[in-house]
Amino acid sequence: MIPPVRSVRDQDRAPLVEALVRHMRSGYARFHVPGHKGSADAARELSELAGGRVLLADLTEVADLDDLQWPCGAIAEAEVLAAEAFGAEETLFLVNGVTAGIHASLLGCAAGGKVAVPRNVHRSVLGGLVLAGADPVYMTPEIDSATGIAGSVSPGELGKTLDGEPGISTVLLVHPTYHGIAGDLRRLVEVSHAHGAAVIVDEAHGSHFGFHDGFPPSAMSCGADISIAGCHKTFGALTQAAILNLQGSFVDREKVRACARAVQTTSPSYLLMASLDSARRLMATRGRSLLENALRLGAWLRQRVNETGVFRSPGPEWTGKPGFFELDPTKVTVLCRPPMDGRAIERQLRSDFGLVVELAHRGHMLAVVTYADEGDTVGKLAGALRAIAAAATPVRSRASGDVEGRGGVYGAFGRIPRKEMSLREAFLSVSRWVGLSEARGCVSADVVAAYPPGIPVLCPGELIDDEAVELIRECRSAGNHFHGLREDREDVLVRVVLRDGRDPK
pLDDT digits (tens, 9 = 90+) for 451-476: 766 678 899 999 999 999 988 988 88
Q: How far apart are CA 191 and CA 157, in angstroms?
A: 10
Same domain, 308 and 354: yes
pLDDT at res. 399: 37
421 located within any domain:
yes
**Do 27 and 46 form a contact (C-beta atoms < 8 A)?**
no
Same domain, 332 and 364: yes
Exposed, middle or buried, 128 (CB in 10 Å: 0-12/13-18/19+)? buried
Same domain, 391 and 345: yes
Phi and psi for 24 in degrees, rounded to 5?
-65, -30
Tell me which of 404, 425, 458 is where a domain ends: 404
Residues with Cβ within 8 Å of 412's Cβ and at least 6 positions away in sequence, in order, are 119, 450, 455, 456, 457, 471
Strand partners, 496: 432, 444
163 located within any domain:
no
Same domain, 295 and 397: yes
Q: Is the peptide bond before 3 cis (omega within 30 degrees of 0)?
A: no
pLDDT at res. 393: 59
Q: How far apart are CA 218 and CA 457, in angstroms?
A: 29
Which ranges of 34-175 does DSSP label H, i.e. alpha helix?
44-50, 52-57, 74-86, 97-110, 123-132, 155-164
291 located within any domain:
yes
Same domain, 399 and 429: no
Tell me which of 404, 437, 462 is where a domain ends: 404
Phi and psi for 147 in degrees, rounded to 5?
-115, -20
**Do 200 and 224 form a contact (C-beta atoms < 8 A)?**
yes
Tell me which of 383, 404, 425 is where a domain ends: 404
Same domain, 399 and 425: no
Exposed, middle or buried, 149 (CB in 10 Å: 0-12/13-18/19+)? buried
Same domain, 438 and 370: no
**Do 216 and 175 form a contact (C-beta atoms < 8 A)?**
yes
Which ranges of 308-372 does DSSP label H, i.e. alpha helix?
342-353
Report the number of distinct structural domains present in the chain: 2
Same domain, 311 and 336: yes
273 located within any domain:
no
**Do 451 and 476 form a contact (C-beta atoms < 8 A)?**
no
Same domain, 355 and 306: yes
pLDDT at res. 25: 85
- Rounded CA Rg of the chain: 23
Ranges of the chain whose pLDDT falls below 70: 1-9, 393-414, 452-454, 500-505
Q: How far is CA 294 from the centre of its chain?
A: 20
224 located within any domain:
no
Same domain, 340 and 449: no
208 located within any domain:
no
Same domain, 381 and 424: no
Range of the domain at 469: 417-497
Within 10 angstroms of residue 325's Cβ, the number of other Cβ atoms is 24
Same domain, 445 and 470: yes
351 located within any domain:
yes
CATH code, domain with 357? 3.90.1150.10
For residue 28, how many C-alpha atoms fall within 13 Å in the half-sphere facing its CB? 16
174 located within any domain:
no
pLDDT digits (tens, 9 = 90+) for 398-433: 333 333 443 455 555 567 899 999 999 999 999 999
CATH code, domain with 485? 3.90.100.10
